[in-house]
Amino acid sequence: MFCRVDVTTLKALAEPNRLRIVEALSAGPYDVGSLTKQLDMHQPQTSKHLRVLSEAGIVVAETDAQRRVYSLRPEPFQELGSWLEQISRLWGERLDRLDAVLQGLQEGASDVEASHTDRDHHQEKSP
Amino acid sequence: MTQTQIVRERGVPALRIERTFDAPVSLVWRSWTDPEILKQWWGPHDWTMSIHRFEPHPGGVWVYSMRPDAAPAADAGDPTVWGRADFVAVEVERRLEFRDRATDSAGEPHAGSEMTVEVGFVDDGGRTRLHIRTQSESQQLLEAAEAQGMVEGYVETLDRLAQRLRAGESA
């Protein structure tokens, strides 16, 4: 079957400053001010990137005593991280089935001969 | 006899699989290119696959659908899954390459489902070694991003983050 990779997540992350924000947030939650200072950006720029990340479901904001504190949502990263696991399981099962089909085809070839022999044998026995 | 080796490519969501089958190359090739055989193993267990179009030549199209054998719940809607692959390379008993993706019943692709699959067929003393490389659309996005000089080590970053986040969750 298919393993879907969330294109929204990838597109949101395919921008260097947004990726830097995500890296910074992996250390823990921050508000816009601390992120702006830490990453040496301008606050409107930080806010704009945080909005994109929030719309893509990558970060979530919580209001804590007047401050908006941003943190990462684990789900999009788990999805990306599990792609390889999913795809290797998919191929493992698919190739097991191919293996069985190949064995069947090869045994099938000799089964045909065997059943011919059986039938001949029965015919000999029948009156 | 089978041997499976799964190698994850460094830093990109691509996967290489090597596996040896106890069958000659001609038969393994037929199993990939004869739709009657292909449909017996391509789809998951307990699903029935139908192949509606199958044109194994470069530029050719392979359209298929899969239905679960179990009857769906009355209110579940149509469980049929559709897919469409485009053949990029077809070299008899040597190499196949195609782009595979899930679609709706009208053939419209589902975003993010595309995978490029490359299959190499190698004779190994009467047995067949398959080399399969699968890469997701995300890597194509990644390559596009890299071509624009955007991000380096992007997927490694994601992997690292995923690990941290998972560690955080299980803690």
Contacts 24+ apart (CB under 8 A), A22-25: A22/A53, A22/A58, A22/A59, A22/A72, A22/B157, A22/B161, A23/B157, A23/B161, A25/A59, A25/A70, A25/A71, A25/A72
Which contiguous run of DSSP H or E holds residue A72? strand A67-72
Residues ≥6 apart with Cβ < 8 Å to B167: none
Does B80 lie at the interface with A, CB-CB under 8 angstroms? no
pLDDT per residue, tens digit, chain A (127 aa), is 444 555 667 677 777 788 888 888 877 889 999 999 999 999 999 999 999 999 988 899 998 778 889 988 877 766 655 666 677 778 888 999 999 999 999 987 765 545 444 444 444 444 4
Q: Cα dihedral sign for A120, A124, A126, A127? A: positive
pLDDT of residue A100: 93
Q: How far is CA B148 from CA A8, A70, B6, B141, B142, in A?
A: 19, 29, 31, 11, 10
pLDDT of residue A78: 63
Rg (CA), chain A: 29
Q: Which of B31, B151, B154 sits opposite A102 (nearest CB)?
A: B31
Does A84 lie at the interface with B, CB-CB under 8 angstroms? yes
How many Å apart are CA A127 and CA B117, to the nearest integer? 59
What is the three-class DSSP state of A34?
helix
Q: B98 with B87: CB under 8 angstroms?
A: yes
Q: Which of A2, A77, A81 sits opposite B113 (nearest CB)?
A: A2
Q: Which of B4, B81, B136 sits opposite A1 (nearest CB)?
A: B81
Three-class HEC string of chain B = CCCEEEEECCCCCEEEEEEEECCCHHHHHHHHHCHHHHHHHCCCCCEEEEEEEECCCCCCEEEEEEEECCCCCCCCCCCCEEEEEEEEEEECCCEEEEEEEEECCCCCECCCCCEEEEEEEEEECCEEEEEEEEEEHHHHHHHHHHHCCCCCCHHHHHHHHHHHHHHHHHC
- The closest alpha carbon to B134, from B121, B122, B148, B116, belongs to B116
pLDDT of residue B139: 56
pLDDT grade for B19, boundaries at 50, 70 and 90: confident
Q: Which of B21, B42, B159 sits opposite A81 (nearest CB)?
A: B159
For A104, half-sphere exposure in the C-beta direction (CA atoms, 13 angstrom radius) is 10
Q: B137 with B113: CB under 8 angstroms?
A: yes
**Strands A30-31 and B61-68, sheet pairing:** unpaired
pLDDT of residue A5: 52
pLDDT of residue A123: 45
Give chain B positions within 8 Å (CB) of A15.
150-151
pLDDT in tens, B69-120: 887 776 777 888 899 999 999 999 999 999 998 898 898 988 777 888 999 9
pLDDT of residue A124: 43
> CA of B38: which chain A residue's CA is closest?
A98
- Would the pLDDT of B1 be above 50? no
pLDDT of residue B114: 81
Q: Which amino acid is at B63?
A: V
pLDDT in tens, B110-167: 877 788 899 999 999 999 999 988 887 665 555 554 444 333 344 444 555 455 555 5
**Which positions 132-171 of B are in contact with A (Cβ < 8 Å)?**
132, 134, 136-138, 141-142, 145, 150-151, 154, 157-166, 168-169
- Would the pLDDT of B4 be above 70? no
* Contact: A100, B161; criterion CB under 8 Å: no
Does A65 lie at the interface with B, CB-CB under 8 angstroms? no
